[in-house]
A and B are shown apart, each in its own frame.
Chain A
Amino acid sequence: MENQMENQEFLADKIRTQEYQLNMGPQHPATHGVMRMILQLDGEEIKNVEPVLGYIHRSIEKMCEKSSYKQIIHLTDRLDYLSSHMNNEAVTLLVENALGIEVNDRIKIIRTIIAELTRMASHQLWWGVMGMDTGALTTFMYAFRDRELINEIMEETCGARLTMNYNIIGGLRYDIHDNFVKRVKEFIVHFKEKLPEYDNLLSNNVIFRKRTEGVGIMTKEQVIAYGMNGPTARASGFECDIRKKLPYSAYGMVDFEEVLRTEGDAFARYKVRIDEMWQSMNIIEQLIDKIPEDDFRMKTKPIIKLPKGDFLQRVETARGDFGVYAMSDGGKNPTRFKFRSPSFANLHGLNKMSENTKIGDLVVNFSTIDVVVPDIDR
């Protein structure tokens, strides 16, 4: 044993190795858009990851300060485009709470159903891309098969597939389409049948297990220290679901479970999202038959002015805790508008996760924190 140690030291003296930098992105298949990471590598081993942001910065916060509250809503579609409905909801809830508008149950329930559908669509896309990042290209199309049905429902009711822009201050832009309830029910039946397929294809696959289990472990303390949230943090046992903690819309009326795991590795992060899809279906099933007859829109003033002061609204998007903060001087536009995006917070943990792992693990870790780059850069 000692001999071996000596030998190694001797070799290390003779063969000089050197760390090198690798520039991953901004155009790289694994970076999900335009993000750049500077990797410090020792052979295949990662010593340091430094994300470089700003490649898709559009100064949305500044644009919001120039816009009226009605106009702000559609800008939030463009942050985390996969949770566009929840982003819209955050702004509408902020304004409604500030103005003291209480929307009726119909609006609340429809908003919640659409939010859960969006969450599922987002997780489906993530699952497909997760498979692709680990090399199983077929998962992507299977995920899109199921996601397409949600998109169809959205298109029929909201008029668009991705940037739905369905919430307006004081209600919804349109009433739900006549087919909505039927189609959602059909989708639930379809997806309950297909979700086990996801497990058989990827979650149980021995190669995938080996790639994710024990990779990128974050403890609960680390997760809290890095300010991570959403499914990524819940995989380490940190209870942070805003739907449970600060119920908004119709989440107070339903009974669902906050998915928690304790392992904190990549597989736990993966599994949390899969289980969240089951919970989303559970929520929708509870609500879909309970949509009361009522107006889909409350009366609001034509020009919306917030009272003087600051306001904060948090919602749970597919990626985690999305916060909107507005400072108003009583005028038509906010004087300061700030978003707290979950992807940005989650990205902080990437370096810690990837310490002393291989390049392949970085891709897995990056995929399991599930960031959307426009949400980071805004």
Chain B
Amino acid sequence: MILELLNQFMPAEVAFYVELVIIAVVYLGVFALLGLFLVWMERRVAGFFQLRLGPNRRGPSGLFQTVADALKLVSKELTATEGRDKFLHGIAPYFVIVAALMALSLIPFSAELQAFDINLGVFFVTAVTSIEVVGIFLAGWASNNKYSLIGGMRSGIQMISYELSIGMTIVTMTVLAGTIQLSEIVEMQRGGWFIWTGHIPAFIGFMVFMIAGTAESNRTPFDLVEAESELGAGFHSEYSGMGFAYFFLAEFVNMFIISAMAVTLFFGGWLLPFEIGADIPFVGAIIFVVKTLSVVFLMMWFRWTFPRLRIDQLLTLEWKYLIPISMVNIVVMAILVWLGLTF
């Protein structure tokens, strides 16, 4: 769309690069706004869960509170420990944030609004999100702080383990969909959302996906990486100012990405049941965002209700429960699809 517009008054090659830049800028903006909005939402939701009001002073319903916080963080001095690995310490937040951004570019907001629709979509998302663990690990290692190091080690153990069950759940759903291109997965659900057509295995898959997804984005009950009461702030103890803000925003955007994937795989992406409002422009994007925020809310609900697991219990949960379940689930799903028992 943008490309056609640009082509009218500049040569095709230049137009291509200009388009890339425009999209990049737009996505950076979306990223920042999304992060700020989600932080606000988390605080507000937490407030209501905890019989409080949450931020309510700056702007309507305290909407600009996080903007003010971000400004504060930008203006803060960057401090760091002595004896840290300067290069790695500096580069670590970018691993996390770039991974989150790349994954965000694949999210199909609606039929038209998807920056990067490749036919390997699902794989690309899982591949890119697993880069993140490198950033967290580097941050923990390079900070020269034992708390950070423990946090980093925990993140390595945790995220690599839970990647497995996320991957397997995604495979389960692609068995049903028959494609791994994200936009096509959504299109496949025109007849009914996968959580409905895939019934039992899809539902189990959704549960596994939510648990593993919460663990992937390092949130309670799986926030061992930054377990507040144990490690202070975990891997980002030694980051201040924007370094900290990058990690913080990336965590929230990751939560959004996990939820967006859940919506795409299980809840029909930008589609409403029975094709309601299918032809009004941009309604798809709104539906998608609303659905995603509902899933995000579910994750917040977990966070503000449950205590945290211990590291060995975390691994028990993954290797003794989630992985066997999702393995059986793939087989069940394959049999169902083979016998045509899906709706």
Contact = CB atoms under 8 A, between A and B. Distances in A.
A and B touch in the complex (CB under 8 A): yes
Contacts of B343: none
A77 to B, nearest CB: 28
A142 interface: yes
A134 B232 contact: no
Nearest to B221: A207
Contact of A363 (B220, B223, B229, B306): B229
A219 to B, nearest CB: 23
Query: What is the size category of the interface that chain A forms with chain B?
Result: 20 to 34
Given A141-B51, A145-B51, A132 B309 contact: no
Contact of B52 (A141, A205, A208): A141
Interface stretch (A22-30, A102-110, A167-175, A179-187): A22-30
Interface string B198-231: 0000000000000000000000110110011111
Contacts of B230: 30, 359-360, 363
Interface in B282-312: 304-312
B310 A360 contact: yes
B221 A138 contact: no
A16 interface: no
Interface string B308-333: 11111100000000000000000000
Interface in B48-75: 49-52
Nearest to B224: A360
B133 interface: no
A29 B305 contact: no
Interface string A137-175: 110111001000000000000000000000000000000
B221 A135 contact: yes
B255 interface: no
Contact of B50 (A22, A137, A202): A137
A360 B308 CA distance: 9
Nearest to A132: B229
Interface residues of B, number: 28
B51 A207 contact: no
B76 interface: no
Contact of B310 (A136, A138, A358): A358
B228 A136 contact: no
A137 B229 CA distance: 10
Given A30-B229, A135-B220, A210 B50 contact: no
Contacts of A135: 220-221, 223, 227-229, 306-308
A151 to B, nearest CB: 16
Contacts of B50: 137-138, 140-142
Contacts of B231: 359
Interface of A: 20, 22, 28-30, 44, 131-138, 140-142, 145, 201-202, 205, 207-208, 210-211, 358-361, 363
17 contacts: A22-B150, A28-B232, A29-B229, A29-B232, A44-B150, A134-B308, A135-B220, A135-B306, A135-B308, A137-B304, A141-B50, A207-B308, A207-B313, A208-B307, A210-B313, A211-B307, A359-B231
Ranked nearest first, the 3 interchain pairs of A and B with the lowest CB-CB distance are A135-B308, A134-B307, A141-B50
